[in-house]
Structure 1
Amino acid sequence: MGDPVADGGPVLLHYPLEGRFRARSSPARRVPSHGTDLMGTTYAIDLVPVDDDGRPAPRTWRSVVATEPAEDFIGFGAPVLAPAAGVVVIAHDGEEDHAARRSQLALVPYMAGQAQRLRHGPGAIAGNHVVIALGAGGPFVLVAHLRRSSLSVRVGTRVRAGQLIGECGNSGNSTQPHVHVQVTDSTDWPSARGLPIAFRTPGGAELPAESQLIVVPRTGRGAAG
Protein backbone atom coordinates (compact mmCIF):
# COMPACT_ATOMS: atom_id res chain seq x y z
CA MET A 1 0.00 0.00 0.00
CA GLY A 2 1.47 3.34 -1.02
CA ASP A 3 0.93 7.01 -0.45
CA PRO A 4 -2.86 7.58 -0.12
CA VAL A 5 -2.57 11.06 -1.54
CA ALA A 6 -0.62 9.86 -4.57
CA ASP A 7 -2.45 6.68 -5.51
CA GLY A 8 -5.81 6.75 -3.76
CA GLY A 9 -4.93 3.89 -1.39
CA PRO A 10 -5.85 3.76 2.30
CA VAL A 11 -4.20 6.07 4.79
CA LEU A 12 -1.71 3.94 6.72
CA LEU A 13 -1.80 4.29 10.49
CA HIS A 14 -0.23 2.70 13.53
CA TYR A 15 -2.57 1.17 16.08
CA PRO A 16 -3.23 3.73 18.84
CA LEU A 17 -3.30 1.05 21.55
CA GLU A 18 -0.91 -1.56 22.88
CA GLY A 19 -1.83 -4.86 24.48
CA ARG A 20 -5.01 -6.77 23.55
CA PHE A 21 -8.04 -5.20 21.90
CA ARG A 22 -10.86 -6.06 19.52
CA ALA A 23 -12.02 -4.30 16.38
CA ARG A 24 -15.65 -3.19 16.37
CA SER A 25 -17.68 -1.41 13.70
CA SER A 26 -14.95 -2.35 11.26
CA PRO A 27 -15.17 -1.08 7.67
CA ALA A 28 -14.01 -4.58 6.71
CA ARG A 29 -17.54 -5.67 7.64
CA ARG A 30 -19.52 -2.87 6.01
CA VAL A 31 -19.22 0.66 4.64
CA PRO A 32 -20.27 3.03 6.09
CA SER A 33 -18.88 1.26 9.12
CA HIS A 34 -21.03 3.05 11.70
CA GLY A 35 -24.11 3.04 9.51
CA THR A 36 -23.72 6.65 8.41
CA ASP A 37 -21.43 9.00 6.50
CA LEU A 38 -22.14 11.85 8.91
CA MET A 39 -19.10 13.69 10.29
CA GLY A 40 -16.71 11.65 8.13
CA THR A 41 -17.39 8.32 9.88
CA THR A 42 -17.62 6.31 6.65
CA TYR A 43 -14.47 4.23 7.31
CA ALA A 44 -14.18 4.73 11.08
CA ILE A 45 -13.24 1.86 13.37
CA ASP A 46 -13.61 1.23 17.11
CA LEU A 47 -10.90 -0.50 19.14
CA VAL A 48 -11.97 -2.02 22.47
CA PRO A 49 -9.30 -3.08 25.01
CA VAL A 50 -9.92 -6.57 26.44
CA ASP A 51 -8.39 -8.89 29.03
CA ASP A 52 -6.70 -12.25 28.46
CA ASP A 53 -10.13 -13.86 28.11
CA GLY A 54 -11.17 -11.38 25.44
CA ARG A 55 -13.60 -9.48 27.69
CA PRO A 56 -13.70 -5.69 28.12
CA ALA A 57 -14.83 -6.12 31.74
CA PRO A 58 -16.07 -8.89 34.07
CA ARG A 59 -19.71 -9.86 33.67
CA THR A 60 -21.90 -9.00 36.65
CA TRP A 61 -25.62 -8.51 37.24
CA ARG A 62 -25.16 -4.90 36.14
CA SER A 63 -24.03 -6.10 32.70
CA VAL A 64 -27.52 -7.52 32.18
CA VAL A 65 -29.90 -4.96 33.65
CA ALA A 66 -28.07 -1.71 34.47
CA THR A 67 -25.25 0.67 33.70
CA GLU A 68 -21.68 -0.14 34.79
CA PRO A 69 -18.88 2.07 36.13
CA ALA A 70 -16.53 2.92 33.27
CA GLU A 71 -13.65 2.41 35.70
CA ASP A 72 -14.47 -1.33 35.82
CA PHE A 73 -13.41 -1.73 32.17
CA ILE A 74 -9.87 -2.75 31.34
CA GLY A 75 -9.62 -0.04 28.71
CA PHE A 76 -10.45 2.88 30.99
CA GLY A 77 -7.25 4.87 31.43
CA ALA A 78 -5.23 2.83 28.91
CA PRO A 79 -2.55 4.90 27.13
CA VAL A 80 -3.61 6.14 23.69
CA LEU A 81 -0.87 6.79 21.16
CA ALA A 82 -0.70 8.97 18.07
CA PRO A 83 -1.57 6.78 15.04
CA ALA A 84 0.69 8.86 12.78
CA ALA A 85 3.13 11.74 12.77
CA GLY A 86 1.74 15.21 12.24
CA VAL A 87 0.53 18.38 13.92
CA VAL A 88 -2.36 18.54 16.38
CA VAL A 89 -5.07 20.83 15.01
CA ILE A 90 -7.83 20.00 17.52
CA ALA A 91 -7.44 19.01 21.17
CA HIS A 92 -10.87 19.00 22.82
CA ASP A 93 -11.20 18.22 26.54
CA GLY A 94 -13.75 18.77 29.29
CA GLU A 95 -16.40 16.18 28.37
CA GLU A 96 -17.37 13.87 31.21
CA ASP A 97 -16.81 10.11 31.19
CA HIS A 98 -20.21 8.55 31.66
CA ALA A 99 -21.37 5.11 32.77
CA ALA A 100 -20.90 2.15 30.45
CA ARG A 101 -23.90 0.36 28.96
CA ARG A 102 -23.73 -3.28 27.85
CA SER A 103 -27.26 -4.04 29.01
CA GLN A 104 -29.98 -3.77 26.37
CA LEU A 105 -32.23 -2.22 29.04
CA ALA A 106 -29.66 0.47 29.76
CA LEU A 107 -29.17 1.14 26.05
CA VAL A 108 -32.81 2.12 25.43
CA PRO A 109 -32.72 5.56 27.11
CA TYR A 110 -29.22 6.13 25.78
CA MET A 111 -30.30 5.59 22.18
CA ALA A 112 -33.27 7.88 22.75
CA GLY A 113 -30.82 10.73 23.41
CA GLN A 114 -28.87 10.25 20.16
CA ALA A 115 -30.55 13.09 18.28
CA GLN A 116 -29.91 15.51 21.14
CA ARG A 117 -26.21 14.62 21.20
CA LEU A 118 -25.97 15.31 17.48
CA ARG A 119 -27.46 18.76 18.02
CA HIS A 120 -24.84 19.53 20.68
CA GLY A 121 -22.00 19.16 18.19
CA PRO A 122 -18.68 17.31 17.86
CA GLY A 123 -17.84 17.30 21.58
CA ALA A 124 -21.06 15.48 22.44
CA ILE A 125 -20.34 12.85 19.78
CA ALA A 126 -16.53 12.44 19.81
CA GLY A 127 -16.16 13.32 23.48
CA ASN A 128 -12.64 14.34 24.40
CA HIS A 129 -10.66 14.00 21.20
CA VAL A 130 -7.52 14.84 19.29
CA VAL A 131 -7.19 15.54 15.57
CA ILE A 132 -3.79 15.25 13.88
CA ALA A 133 -3.11 16.78 10.46
CA LEU A 134 -0.78 14.52 8.48
CA GLY A 135 0.04 17.36 6.07
CA ALA A 136 -0.70 21.05 5.72
CA GLY A 137 -4.00 20.28 4.02
CA GLY A 138 -4.68 16.91 5.60
CA PRO A 139 -5.63 14.15 5.72
CA PHE A 140 -6.81 14.46 9.32
CA VAL A 141 -6.81 11.64 11.88
CA LEU A 142 -9.44 11.82 14.62
CA VAL A 143 -8.89 9.85 17.85
CA ALA A 144 -12.01 10.03 20.00
CA HIS A 145 -13.61 9.10 23.36
CA LEU A 146 -10.56 9.95 25.46
CA ARG A 147 -10.66 10.19 29.26
CA ARG A 148 -11.40 13.61 30.65
CA SER A 149 -8.30 15.62 31.62
CA SER A 150 -5.96 12.99 30.11
CA LEU A 151 -4.88 14.85 26.97
CA SER A 152 -1.11 15.32 26.85
CA VAL A 153 -1.02 17.43 23.66
CA ARG A 154 -2.49 20.73 22.57
CA VAL A 155 -3.17 22.53 19.30
CA GLY A 156 0.14 23.09 17.52
CA THR A 157 1.94 20.15 19.12
CA ARG A 158 3.99 18.21 16.56
CA VAL A 159 3.66 14.52 17.41
CA ARG A 160 5.47 11.43 16.26
CA ALA A 161 3.72 8.11 15.62
CA GLY A 162 3.46 6.24 18.91
CA GLN A 163 3.63 9.34 21.11
CA LEU A 164 1.26 9.48 24.08
CA ILE A 165 -1.68 11.78 23.35
CA GLY A 166 -4.13 10.79 26.10
CA GLU A 167 -5.95 7.92 27.76
CA CYS A 168 -8.89 5.76 26.74
CA GLY A 169 -12.15 6.96 28.24
CA ASN A 170 -15.89 6.81 27.82
CA SER A 171 -16.73 10.35 26.78
CA GLY A 172 -19.08 11.40 24.02
CA ASN A 173 -21.21 8.95 22.05
CA SER A 174 -19.71 5.83 23.64
CA THR A 175 -21.33 2.86 25.36
CA GLN A 176 -18.11 1.45 26.83
CA PRO A 177 -14.47 2.57 27.04
CA HIS A 178 -12.87 2.32 23.60
CA VAL A 179 -10.93 4.33 21.03
CA HIS A 180 -12.60 5.54 17.84
CA VAL A 181 -10.30 6.25 14.88
CA GLN A 182 -11.20 7.82 11.55
CA VAL A 183 -9.51 9.78 8.79
CA THR A 184 -11.15 12.62 6.87
CA ASP A 185 -10.30 15.12 4.16
CA SER A 186 -11.40 18.04 6.33
CA THR A 187 -12.25 19.11 9.89
CA ASP A 188 -15.39 20.87 8.69
CA TRP A 189 -17.40 18.00 10.16
CA PRO A 190 -20.75 18.61 8.45
CA SER A 191 -19.08 18.27 5.03
CA ALA A 192 -16.02 16.11 5.85
CA ARG A 193 -15.55 12.96 3.77
CA GLY A 194 -14.20 9.81 5.37
CA LEU A 195 -11.10 8.23 3.83
CA PRO A 196 -10.18 4.50 3.82
CA ILE A 197 -7.62 3.40 6.41
CA ALA A 198 -5.36 0.45 7.17
CA PHE A 199 -2.98 -0.30 10.04
CA ARG A 200 0.70 -1.05 9.79
CA THR A 201 1.77 -4.52 10.91
CA PRO A 202 5.14 -6.32 10.90
CA GLY A 203 4.00 -8.08 7.72
CA GLY A 204 2.68 -5.03 5.91
CA ALA A 205 -0.78 -3.58 6.59
CA GLU A 206 -4.23 -4.82 7.56
CA LEU A 207 -7.80 -3.72 8.04
CA PRO A 208 -9.00 -5.90 10.93
CA ALA A 209 -12.20 -7.88 10.56
CA GLU A 210 -15.19 -7.37 12.83
CA SER A 211 -14.43 -8.72 16.35
CA GLN A 212 -10.85 -9.60 15.35
CA LEU A 213 -8.54 -9.82 18.35
CA ILE A 214 -5.44 -7.69 17.88
CA VAL A 215 -2.33 -7.99 20.03
CA VAL A 216 0.28 -5.24 19.91
CA PRO A 217 3.37 -5.82 22.08
CA ARG A 218 3.78 -3.27 24.84
CA THR A 219 6.83 -1.11 24.18
CA GLY A 220 6.53 1.49 26.90
CA ARG A 221 5.72 4.18 24.33
CA GLY A 222 2.68 5.03 26.43
CA ALA A 223 4.83 6.37 29.25
CA ALA A 224 4.70 10.12 29.78
CA GLY A 225 7.67 12.04 28.42
Structure 2
Amino acid sequence: MVEKESSRHPEVALSLPFTGLWLARNSPARRVPSHGTDLFGERYAIDFVGVDERRRTAGHRDWRTFLATEPADRFFAYGRPILAPADGTVVEVHDGEIDHAGRRSQLALVPYMLGQAARVRQGVRAVAGNYLVIALPGGAFVALVHLRAGSVRVSPGEVVTAGQHVAACGNSGNSTQPHLHMQVMETRDFSVARGVPMAFRHFRERPRGARQFHTREYGVPAEGAVVEPLPLPGAHSTS
Protein backbone atom coordinates (compact mmCIF):
# COMPACT_ATOMS: atom_id res chain seq x y z
CA MET A 1 0.00 0.00 0.00
CA VAL A 2 1.17 3.54 -0.75
CA GLU A 3 0.69 6.30 1.79
CA LYS A 4 -0.94 9.47 0.46
CA GLU A 5 -0.14 12.78 2.16
CA SER A 6 -3.68 14.03 1.57
CA SER A 7 -5.27 11.23 3.60
CA ARG A 8 -4.72 9.73 7.03
CA HIS A 9 -5.53 6.35 5.50
CA PRO A 10 -3.19 4.35 3.25
CA GLU A 11 -4.27 3.65 -0.29
CA VAL A 12 -6.88 0.89 -0.34
CA ALA A 13 -6.33 -2.02 -2.75
CA LEU A 14 -9.53 -3.35 -4.35
CA SER A 15 -10.76 -5.50 -7.21
CA LEU A 16 -12.80 -3.94 -9.99
CA PRO A 17 -16.44 -4.54 -8.98
CA PHE A 18 -17.78 -5.96 -12.24
CA THR A 19 -17.04 -8.13 -15.25
CA GLY A 20 -16.80 -7.08 -18.89
CA LEU A 21 -15.71 -3.78 -20.43
CA TRP A 22 -16.15 -0.45 -18.65
CA LEU A 23 -14.98 3.08 -19.43
CA ALA A 24 -13.25 5.06 -16.65
CA ARG A 25 -14.56 8.59 -16.17
CA ASN A 26 -13.71 11.29 -13.62
CA SER A 27 -10.66 9.28 -12.63
CA PRO A 28 -8.32 10.39 -9.83
CA ALA A 29 -5.52 9.42 -12.24
CA ARG A 30 -6.46 12.64 -14.06
CA ARG A 31 -7.11 15.05 -11.20
CA VAL A 32 -7.84 15.24 -7.48
CA PRO A 33 -10.55 15.90 -6.38
CA SER A 34 -11.57 13.57 -9.18
CA HIS A 35 -15.15 14.87 -9.32
CA GLY A 36 -14.09 18.46 -8.81
CA THR A 37 -15.23 18.56 -5.18
CA ASP A 38 -14.64 17.00 -1.78
CA LEU A 39 -18.38 17.09 -1.09
CA PHE A 40 -19.86 13.73 0.02
CA GLY A 41 -16.38 12.17 0.25
CA GLU A 42 -15.77 12.30 -3.53
CA ARG A 43 -12.07 13.30 -3.48
CA TYR A 44 -10.81 10.01 -5.00
CA ALA A 45 -14.06 8.72 -6.53
CA ILE A 46 -14.20 7.15 -9.97
CA ASP A 47 -17.05 6.49 -12.41
CA PHE A 48 -17.31 3.39 -14.58
CA VAL A 49 -19.60 3.32 -17.63
CA GLY A 50 -20.40 -0.01 -19.30
CA VAL A 51 -19.29 -0.14 -22.94
CA ASP A 52 -18.84 -2.55 -25.84
CA GLU A 53 -15.68 -3.28 -27.84
CA ARG A 54 -16.23 -0.05 -29.80
CA ARG A 55 -16.38 2.04 -26.59
CA ARG A 56 -20.09 2.73 -27.15
CA THR A 57 -22.27 3.18 -24.08
CA ALA A 58 -25.39 2.09 -26.00
CA GLY A 59 -25.99 0.17 -29.20
CA HIS A 60 -28.85 2.24 -30.55
CA ARG A 61 -29.35 5.86 -31.59
CA ASP A 62 -32.49 7.58 -32.78
CA TRP A 63 -34.13 10.98 -32.55
CA ARG A 64 -34.32 10.69 -28.76
CA THR A 65 -30.52 10.47 -28.55
CA PHE A 66 -30.22 13.99 -29.98
CA LEU A 67 -33.41 15.69 -28.78
CA ALA A 68 -34.78 14.02 -25.65
CA THR A 69 -34.25 11.46 -22.91
CA GLU A 70 -33.77 7.72 -23.56
CA PRO A 71 -34.85 4.56 -21.74
CA ALA A 72 -32.25 3.51 -19.16
CA ASP A 73 -32.29 -0.07 -20.43
CA ARG A 74 -30.96 1.12 -23.80
CA PHE A 75 -27.51 1.51 -22.19
CA PHE A 76 -25.09 -1.41 -21.85
CA ALA A 77 -24.36 -0.69 -18.18
CA TYR A 78 -27.97 -0.89 -17.05
CA GLY A 79 -28.61 -4.07 -15.09
CA ARG A 80 -25.04 -5.36 -15.28
CA PRO A 81 -24.04 -7.19 -12.07
CA ILE A 82 -22.08 -5.19 -9.51
CA LEU A 83 -19.68 -7.21 -7.36
CA ALA A 84 -18.14 -6.66 -3.95
CA PRO A 85 -14.68 -5.15 -4.55
CA ALA A 86 -13.24 -6.67 -1.36
CA ASP A 87 -14.09 -8.79 1.64
CA GLY A 88 -15.99 -6.82 4.26
CA THR A 89 -19.24 -6.20 6.10
CA VAL A 90 -22.21 -4.31 4.67
CA VAL A 91 -22.98 -1.42 7.01
CA GLU A 92 -25.48 0.64 5.04
CA VAL A 93 -27.96 0.03 2.22
CA HIS A 94 -30.42 2.35 0.55
CA ASP A 95 -32.75 1.10 -2.16
CA GLY A 96 -36.01 2.36 -3.61
CA GLU A 97 -34.97 5.48 -5.54
CA ILE A 98 -36.18 5.47 -9.14
CA ASP A 99 -33.94 4.91 -12.15
CA HIS A 100 -34.00 7.99 -14.34
CA ALA A 101 -34.13 8.11 -18.10
CA GLY A 102 -30.74 8.46 -19.81
CA ARG A 103 -29.59 11.78 -21.23
CA ARG A 104 -27.10 12.00 -24.09
CA SER A 105 -28.82 14.95 -25.74
CA GLN A 106 -27.47 18.39 -24.91
CA LEU A 107 -31.07 19.64 -24.93
CA ALA A 108 -32.01 17.09 -22.29
CA LEU A 109 -28.91 17.82 -20.21
CA VAL A 110 -29.63 21.54 -19.81
CA PRO A 111 -32.66 21.25 -17.48
CA TYR A 112 -30.95 18.43 -15.63
CA MET A 113 -27.87 20.53 -14.90
CA LEU A 114 -30.07 23.41 -13.76
CA GLY A 115 -31.45 21.09 -11.08
CA GLN A 116 -28.02 20.10 -9.77
CA ALA A 117 -27.96 22.53 -6.84
CA ALA A 118 -31.42 21.43 -5.71
CA ARG A 119 -30.32 17.78 -5.62
CA VAL A 120 -27.31 18.66 -3.49
CA ARG A 121 -29.56 20.53 -1.05
CA GLN A 122 -31.81 17.47 -0.80
CA GLY A 123 -28.90 15.44 0.51
CA VAL A 124 -27.21 12.10 0.01
CA ARG A 125 -30.13 10.08 -1.32
CA ALA A 126 -30.92 12.59 -4.07
CA VAL A 127 -27.27 12.55 -5.14
CA ALA A 128 -26.31 8.90 -4.58
CA GLY A 129 -29.65 7.29 -5.40
CA ASN A 130 -29.53 3.62 -4.45
CA TYR A 131 -26.26 2.64 -2.83
CA LEU A 132 -24.51 0.32 -0.43
CA VAL A 133 -21.52 0.82 1.87
CA ILE A 134 -19.11 -1.95 2.87
CA ALA A 135 -16.79 -1.69 5.88
CA LEU A 136 -13.31 -2.93 4.99
CA PRO A 137 -10.94 -4.71 7.40
CA GLY A 138 -8.51 -1.78 7.46
CA GLY A 139 -11.11 0.64 8.81
CA ALA A 140 -12.15 2.39 5.59
CA PHE A 141 -15.52 2.15 3.84
CA VAL A 142 -16.22 1.55 0.14
CA ALA A 143 -19.42 2.89 -1.42
CA LEU A 144 -21.10 1.60 -4.61
CA VAL A 145 -23.51 4.22 -5.93
CA HIS A 146 -26.30 4.78 -8.53
CA LEU A 147 -27.51 1.18 -8.26
CA ARG A 148 -30.60 -0.12 -10.03
CA ALA A 149 -33.83 0.16 -8.05
CA GLY A 150 -34.69 -3.12 -6.34
CA SER A 151 -31.38 -4.77 -7.24
CA VAL A 152 -29.51 -4.72 -3.92
CA ARG A 153 -29.03 -8.31 -2.75
CA VAL A 154 -27.36 -7.75 0.64
CA SER A 155 -28.40 -6.30 3.99
CA PRO A 156 -26.63 -4.36 6.77
CA GLY A 157 -24.59 -6.69 8.92
CA GLU A 158 -24.03 -9.21 6.14
CA VAL A 159 -20.46 -10.35 5.49
CA VAL A 160 -19.51 -10.30 1.81
CA THR A 161 -16.54 -11.66 -0.10
CA ALA A 162 -14.70 -10.12 -3.05
CA GLY A 163 -16.48 -10.99 -6.29
CA GLN A 164 -19.87 -11.59 -4.66
CA HIS A 165 -22.85 -10.30 -6.67
CA VAL A 166 -24.30 -7.55 -4.47
CA ALA A 167 -26.43 -5.37 -6.79
CA ALA A 168 -26.93 -4.20 -10.39
CA CYS A 169 -25.85 -1.04 -12.16
CA GLY A 170 -28.59 1.54 -12.45
CA ASN A 171 -29.30 5.19 -13.12
CA SER A 172 -30.57 6.42 -9.77
CA GLY A 173 -29.61 9.64 -8.03
CA ASN A 174 -27.42 12.25 -9.71
CA SER A 175 -26.79 10.28 -12.90
CA THR A 176 -27.33 11.18 -16.54
CA GLN A 177 -26.82 7.66 -17.87
CA PRO A 178 -26.36 4.26 -16.19
CA HIS A 179 -22.96 3.96 -14.56
CA LEU A 180 -21.27 2.91 -11.33
CA HIS A 181 -19.82 5.58 -9.03
CA MET A 182 -17.31 4.14 -6.57
CA GLN A 183 -15.44 5.74 -3.71
CA VAL A 184 -13.61 4.91 -0.49
CA MET A 185 -14.20 7.01 2.63
CA GLU A 186 -12.97 7.36 6.21
CA THR A 187 -16.51 7.04 7.56
CA ARG A 188 -19.78 5.51 6.37
CA ASP A 189 -21.55 8.88 6.56
CA PHE A 190 -21.38 10.57 3.15
CA SER A 191 -22.34 13.95 4.59
CA VAL A 192 -19.12 14.27 6.60
CA ALA A 193 -16.85 11.74 4.87
CA ARG A 194 -13.34 12.42 3.68
CA GLY A 195 -12.23 10.51 0.60
CA VAL A 196 -9.52 7.86 0.74
CA PRO A 197 -7.24 6.90 -2.20
CA MET A 198 -7.83 3.53 -3.85
CA ALA A 199 -6.24 1.42 -6.56
CA PHE A 200 -7.18 -1.80 -8.33
CA ARG A 201 -5.51 -5.15 -8.73
CA HIS A 202 -4.96 -7.18 -11.89
CA PHE A 203 -6.90 -5.73 -14.79
CA ARG A 204 -6.37 -5.02 -18.45
CA GLU A 205 -6.57 -1.47 -19.76
CA ARG A 206 -6.87 0.13 -23.18
CA PRO A 207 -6.07 3.84 -22.89
CA ARG A 208 -7.94 6.38 -24.98
CA GLY A 209 -6.62 6.26 -28.55
CA ALA A 210 -4.84 2.92 -28.09
CA ARG A 211 -5.66 -0.17 -30.13
CA GLN A 212 -4.42 -2.82 -27.74
CA PHE A 213 -5.04 -3.71 -24.12
CA HIS A 214 -2.18 -4.08 -21.69
CA THR A 215 -2.20 -5.79 -18.32
CA ARG A 216 -1.81 -3.81 -15.12
CA GLU A 217 -1.11 -5.64 -11.90
CA TYR A 218 -2.00 -2.61 -9.81
CA GLY A 219 -3.05 0.98 -10.36
CA VAL A 220 -5.78 3.49 -11.12
CA PRO A 221 -7.35 3.47 -14.61
CA ALA A 222 -6.49 6.45 -16.75
CA GLU A 223 -9.19 8.92 -17.71
CA GLY A 224 -11.04 7.62 -20.75
CA ALA A 225 -9.46 4.15 -20.57
CA VAL A 226 -11.49 0.99 -21.15
CA VAL A 227 -10.83 -1.59 -18.45
CA GLU A 228 -11.73 -5.20 -17.79
CA PRO A 229 -10.88 -7.15 -14.62
CA LEU A 230 -8.71 -10.24 -14.87
CA PRO A 231 -9.12 -13.18 -12.48
CA LEU A 232 -6.91 -13.03 -9.43
CA PRO A 233 -4.94 -16.22 -8.73
CA GLY A 234 -7.14 -18.56 -6.71
CA ALA A 235 -10.11 -16.18 -6.82
CA HIS A 236 -13.68 -17.09 -7.73
CA SER A 237 -16.95 -15.19 -7.92
CA THR A 238 -20.01 -16.01 -5.86
CA SER A 239 -23.58 -15.19 -6.67
TM-score scaled to structure 1, two decimals? Answer: 0.91
Say yes or no: does 1:90 pair with 2:92. Answer: yes
Question: Could you tell me which residue of structure 1 aligns to residue 52 of structure 2?
Answer: 51
Say yes or no: does 1:209 pair with 2:222. Answer: yes
The structure, 1 or 2, with the larger RCO (C-alpha pairs under 8 Å, 6+ apart) is 1
Measure the CA separation in 1 of the matches of 2:229 and 2:61: 25
Structure 1 gap ranges (5+) = none
Amino acid at match of 2:54: D
Question: Could you tell me which residue of structure 1 aligns to residue 154 of structure 2?
Answer: 153
Aligned CA-pair RMSD: 2.0
Amino acid at match of 1:149: G
Shift of 1:187: 2.1
Question: Could you tell me which residue of structure 1 aligns to residue 134 of structure 2?
Answer: 132
- Percentage of identical aligned residues: 54
Residues 171-186 of structure 1 correspond to what in structure 2 (within 5 A)? 171-186=172-187
Question: Could you tell me which residue of structure 2 aligns to residue 76 of structure 1?
Answer: 78
Q: Does the aligned pair in 2 maintain the 1:80–1:168 contact within 8 Å?
A: yes
Residues 7-57 of structure 1: CA distance to partner in whole angstroms, max 9, x if unpaired? 954111110110011100001111111110001000000001101211010
Question: Could you tell me which residue of structure 2 aligns to residue 25 of structure 1?
Answer: 26
TM-score scaled to structure 2, two decimals? Answer: 0.86
Measure the CA separation in 2 of the matches of 1:185 and 1:9: 11
Shift of 1:174: 0.6
Amino acid at match of 1:84: A
Q: Does the aligned pair in 1 maintain the 2:91–2:133 contact within 8 Å?
A: yes
- The DSSP-based 3-state class of the residue aligned with 2:55 is coil
- The DSSP-based 3-state class of the residue aligned with 2:49 is strand
Measure the CA separation in 1 of the matches of 2:139 and 2:16: 19
Measure the CA separation in 1 of the matches of 2:197 and 2:2: 13
Measure the CA separation in 2 of the matches of 1:201 and 1:178: 21
Structure 2 gap ranges (5+) = 204-215
Residues 55-81 of structure 1: CA distance to partner in whole angstroms, max 9, x if unpaired? 010333222221111010111100000
Measure the CA separation in 2 of the matches of 1:188 and 1:78: 26
Measure the CA separation in 2 of the matches of 1:87 and 1:8: 19
Shift of 1:3: 8.5
- The DSSP-based 3-state class of the residue aligned with 2:90 is strand
Question: Could you tell me which residue of structure 2 aligns to residue 143 of structure 1?
Answer: 144
Residues 73-101 of structure 1: CA distance to partner in whole angstroms, max 9, x if unpaired? 11110000001111000111000001011
Amino acid at match of 1:210: E
Q: Does the aligned pair in 2 maintain the 1:25–1:46 contact within 8 Å?
A: yes
Shift of 1:191: 2.0
Measure the CA separation in 1 of the matches of 2:198 and 2:229: 18
Amino acid at match of 2:129: G
Question: Could you tell me which residue of structure 2 aligns to residue 15 of structure 1?
Answer: 16
- The DSSP-based 3-state class of the residue aligned with 1:19 is coil
